[in-house]
Amino acid sequence: MVPLPDEQLSLDVLASETITQDSSPPPEVGALTELIRKGYTNGRRPLFILGAGISFGQVPLLSDIGMWLKEQLSQLITKESDLWSDDSWMVEHAALLGEGQAGRRQTAELFTSLQTGAKHAQDVWRTFSAAFLKSDTPWPKIAFRGVASAVSTPAHAHLADLLLLNKARIVSLNFDGLTIQAAKELYKKDPSNYPTKGAISLHSESDLFHYFATSAYEVPAAVVKIRGDVFYATCKSETCPGHRSPLPIERVIGNHKEDQDSLICPICQQDSLVLTFSFPGFRKKEELAHPMLWAFRRFVAANTACVICIGFSGKWDKYLLDFLFDMCSEREIPLVDVRPPDQHDHNLFDDFRSSYFPNCPAVPEKQLERHTSYTRILSEADPFMHEMHHHLTK
Ligand SMILES: [Zn+2]
């Protein structure tokens, strides 16, 4: 996939018919969109699960973070070899992460030591926090200059439009807030286009209960963030309430002004925010996500037409894979896995299915119908969402 130039406005794609920059044929989505359109007549909507792959080129993946840490750590270890004599393993762990080869143990050890270890390690983390939020120089291998200036992709814009039109539900595993950003821009441009009152994100079980149990007649569309607080921001000032309750990153970015050099704590207004990374592979982290997934399932499972995962590797989220296959089996609906053709671990979903959900047959897209089944569509997120949007809004 060709990353978008910084200045390209992704929202313009809704007005244009041409979006794919390469000449590969659009992905086959005829049976899928037919199934969803039938669902609309019975009040059922597709549920999109968004993984890191949808923000590809805009926001670093875990492997990009590994590359960044490897470069920083190897420079420091050469320069200050005495100080780092016990910590040279960190470079090796970071290199493995950068190559996509690190397991849960190495990843967890690396992030824990950087955030809670010796002062020199924590200093690296502070530099990383700053570069992650806003960077003056691009990252290695990716034109990224901080989450604060990340721009939503065409896929985000197409999803946001479907969300605002009440034609899709979205669960996001990402911390970047790019779907909400796209939805806010679309809504601001022309609120009369939409039956909803803009869009918000829901971060907790109690957010979900209040949202779905509301008696209000007009409500905003919602993006449900599961595990979207993998990265969150904590205020370093001990007297500030932001020190005790971490803030979702997207809420911090929402307050960010272009001319600011660093991110300001929205509570105490000081330049004192630091990133906290809670690694998704931690069992505890996954268990915390479970009550929220179940609360969501209670409200939406009965009116879901199918589940469509985009850019979600499943590598760190076996709990979520299990949850999704279980929900699709119980409700007798298809699970669709959309991923780029060249992804090296693309059998993971299917291996999990054949081991634990043999009742869920793998079928080609053309044979999709409303029963328990699994389909893989090999496509980048942008051309896939372009086709989906085209068929679901005509
Ligand atoms: Zn503060």
pLDDT at position 4: 38
Q: Choose one of 121, 143, 165: the last residue of a domain.
A: 143
Measuring CA to CA, which residue among 223, 218, 222 is closest to residue 197? Answer: 218
Are residues 172 and 259 both part of a single domain? no
- CA of 9 from ligand 1 middle (Å) equals 33
Q: What local confidence, expressed as pLDDT, does residue 67 receive?
A: 92
Spacing of C-alpha 254 from chain mean position: 17
Per-residue pLDDT tens digits for 154-194: 999 999 999 999 999 999 988 788 999 999 999 999 999 99
Question: In angstroms, how far is CA 36 from the centroid of its own chain?
Answer: 23
Find how far residue 377's CA is from the centre of its chain. 19
Which helix (H) or strand (E) segment holds residue 153: the answer is: none
pLDDT, residue 172, reads: 92
One domain, residues 115 and 187? no
Centre a 10 Å sphere on the Cβ of residue 336 and count the other Cβ atoms it contains.
25
| Mean pLDDT along residues 198-223 | 90
H or E element that contains 256: none
Task: Give the per-residue pLDDT at 9.
Answer: 45
For residue 83, the enclosing domain spans 62-143
Q: How many Å lie between the centroid of ligand 1 and the Cα of residue 273?
A: 7
Answer yes or no: are the C-beta atoms of 105 and 233 closer than 8 Å: no
pLDDT digits (tens, 9 = 90+) for 30-59: 999 999 999 999 999 999 999 988 888 788
Does residue 257 carry a pLDDT above 80? Answer: no
Of 109, 143, 177, which residue is a domain's last?
Answer: 143
Residue 382 sits in a domain of what CATH number?
Answer: 3.40.50.1220
Question: Residue 1: inside a domain, yes or no?
Answer: no
How many Å lie between the centroid of ligand 1 and the Cα of residue 237? 6
CA of 261 from ligand 1 middle (Å) equals 17
Strand bridging mode 45-50 / 199-202: unpaired
Q: Among 284-298, 329-343, 361-375, whose mean pLDDT is lowest?
A: 284-298
Q: Is the pLDDT of residue 325 over 50?
A: yes
Beta bridge partners of 221: 199
Taking the CA atoms of the chain, what radius of gyration do you get in angstroms?
Answer: 21
- How does pLDDT run across 235-246, given as a tens digit for each residue? 888 898 888 877
N residues, the chain = 394
Is residue 83 scored above 80 in pLDDT? yes
Distance between Cα 243 and ligand 1 center (Å): 6
Mean pLDDT of 51-68: 86
Q: Is the pLDDT reported for residue 19 higher than 50?
A: no
Q: How confident is the model at residue 2 (pLDDT cuts 50, 70, 90)?
A: very low
How many domains, in total, are found in the chain?
3
**Averaged pLDDT, 133-158:** 82
HSE-up of 354 (CA within 13 Å, CB side)?
7
Q: Specify whether 54 is located in the same domain as 73.
A: no
Closest by Cα among 320, 316, 318 to 328: 320
Residue in the structure block whose two tokens are 């372009």: 386
3-state secondary structure of 142: strand
Residue 261: what pLDDT? 58
Yes or no: say if 374 and 362 are a contact pair by the CB < 8 Å rule.
Answer: yes
